[in-house]
Copies of this chain bind each other. A is one copy, B any other.
Amino acid sequence: MPSSAYEAFITRVKEISTARAIEAVLEWDQETYMPPRGAEQRAAQLALIAGLAHQRLIDEAFGAALAAVEQEADPDPVVVTNVREMRRLFDRAVKLPTDLVQEIARTVALAKTAWVRARKENRFADFAPHLERVLELKRTVADKIGYTTEPYDALMDEFEPGARAADVQKAFDELKRQLVPLVRAIKDAPRQPNPELLTRPAPAAAQAAFGRRVAADMGFDFEAGRLDVSAHPFCSGTSPLDVRLTTRYDENYLPASLFGIMHEAGHGLYEQGLDPAHAGTPMGNSVSLGIHESQSRMWENLVGRSRPFWAHYFPKLQAEFPSFAGVSLEDWTFAINTVRPSYIRVEADEVTYNLHILLRFDLERQLLDGRLKVRDVPAAWNESFKALLGLTPRTDAEGCLQDIHWSMGILGYFPTYALGNLYAAQFFRAAQRALPDLDLHIARGELRPLREWLRENIHRHGQRYRAHELVQLVTGEPLTHAAFFEYLTKKYKPLYGF
């Protein structure tokens, strides 16, 4: 029986998360169906509801409710988790003065507009003063939050609770050491794919039907979710019973929507796999962005770009899209695994992708602790890019101006993308050990066993474990680059024949 103090606390927690859920619906609507001229009023709506959620969180009454439950020290893991995570959120929120939060909101609104223009006109200098200001404010945030080793930790903690930059650096260093030669070996390999065949015509409606079918096969519940179109694909979950995916359709490039849908459905399965009994509390929330990304990347790449997957789905694809008739399963599987260093992160293949992240992680840390000056970013970016990917961006627009994140004040977020790739490989290896017939299942189009395993071992835990604990628990080892590299080697060596 939960105590009355705990029940009062949970009522407040759920109210805060209900406000956040409303915010998510409004944001989803903004990206999918809102008429263009509704933007201004939507901003007022979002400000109101975000403000409400924040006020209820930093409310003294909430602090008192939290303290009362802490006093009781109930050892039930559900209680322990919910209290620990709400304490973390509360402490972060109350440490930030309202005028600082508002100043950040104002600054990033201007910075985002400046970034859009600067990228379009390829003028980094126009964005530089905004980035200076953003960094200054984020340094203040880090100082207010507090950290032991470096300010970056305080910021990254928002997205990957408990992660420390030094540990991430270690995994990334090893990754880099092995990735750079792998990329070179692939580049120089005797066999090369024919990515041209990916550009054959594919009507949007048929892409939507096919993607929807794959998502359903993965176990995505369309009674508790949707798939729509937006300019930038995303997954929005307001509860395990209302999870919304978006994608976009390029009629001359089917992989964008198909792997995009599998990616977002991977996120979606995590959201739908959370325990509805704990909805609106930390026990019913995902662990971190890195763990979230492990689910999306696993379905997109380790499943979606695998030979067994296409053994089942390629004949079905060919039946729906006549333009792929005559293409062999081998050529198709090779083509969707084209590896080629390129400038733009969001278009990168799974091998080179992490190098894009390593670069950003490194620059962000240097910017934050002052080792790198804003005016030197373009040069540092291009130098690092050349070292990691062997290319020199021709413009800043395809270099250091390509991502929206900094203009939004989002620092410490990029590493979660790479962490997701590493976690994905670790989890998938554990799944393969636990389910010896996994490849066989996938080759028959039976994707549910993997979903069940993920649900049981990852989704259902909510935030009971921090990311590093969960990885240890599920895979028997800490965060490592090894599983990811093993996966890449095993896949790409035979494909490219080196």
Q: Is the CB of B29 within 8 A of A25?
A: yes
Q: Which residue of B lies closest to A222 (CB)?
A: B35
Q: Is the CB of A35 within 8 A of B223?
A: yes
Q: Is the CB of A19 within 8 A of B35?
A: no
Judged by a CB distance under 8 angstroms, whether A40 is at the interface is yes
Judged by a CB distance under 8 angstroms, whether A64 is at the interface is no
Interface stretch among A43-51, A312-320, A367-375? A43-51
Q: Is the CB of B239 within 8 A of A48?
A: no
Q: Give the complex CA separation of A23 and B44 in angstroms.
A: 13
Q: Is the CB of B226 within 8 A of A35?
A: yes
Q: Is the CB of A33 within 8 A of B226?
A: yes
Given the known inter-chain contacts A22-B22, A22-B26, A26-B22, please indicate yes or no for A239 contacting B38, CB distance below 8 A. yes
Judged by a CB distance under 8 angstroms, whether A31 is at the interface is no
Q: Give the complex CA separation of A224 and B37 in angstroms.
A: 5
Q: Give the complex CA separation of A237 and B67 in angstroms.
A: 43
Please, which residues of chain B bring their CB within 8 A of the CB of A36?
Answer: 223-224
Given the known inter-chain contacts A25-B26, A25-B29, please indicate yes or no for A15 contacting B241, CB distance below 8 A. no
Interface residues on A, range: 35 or more
Q: Give the complex CA separation of A41 and B26 in angstroms.
A: 15
Q: Which of B14, B25, B33, B242 contacts A37 (CB 8 A)?
A: B242
Q: Which of B22, B35, B41, B223 contacts A48 (CB 8 A)?
A: B22
Q: Is the CB of A41 within 8 A of B21?
A: yes
Given the known inter-chain contacts A26-B25, A29-B25, A35-B225, please indicate yes or no for A241 contacting B40, CB distance below 8 A. yes
Given the known inter-chain contacts A37-B241, A239-B38, A241-B38, please indicate yes or no for A45 contacting B29, CB distance below 8 A. no
Please, which residues of chain B bring their CB within 8 A of the CB of A40?
Answer: 241
CB-CB contacts of A246-289 with B at 8 A, as 1s and 0s? 00000000000000000000000000000000010000000000
Q: Is the CB of B239 within 8 A of A41?
A: yes
Q: Give the complex CA separation of A239 and B42 in angstroms.
A: 10
Please, which residues of chain B bring their CB within 8 A of the CB of A29?
Answer: 25, 29
CB-CB contacts of A183-225 with B at 8 A, as 1s and 0s? 0000000000000000000000000000000000000011111
Question: For residues 49 through 108 of chain A, which have their beta carbon under 8 Å from a beta carbon of chain B?
Answer: 49, 52
| Beyond A18-B45, A40-B241, A42-B242, 8 extra complex contacts between A and B, CB < 8 Å | A19-B48, A21-B41, A21-B45, A25-B26, A25-B29, A35-B243, A35-B244, A37-B224
Q: Which 10 A-B pairs have the closest CB atoms?
A: A38-B242, A37-B224, A37-B241, A41-B239, A18-B48, A22-B45, A37-B223, A35-B224, A18-B44, A38-B241
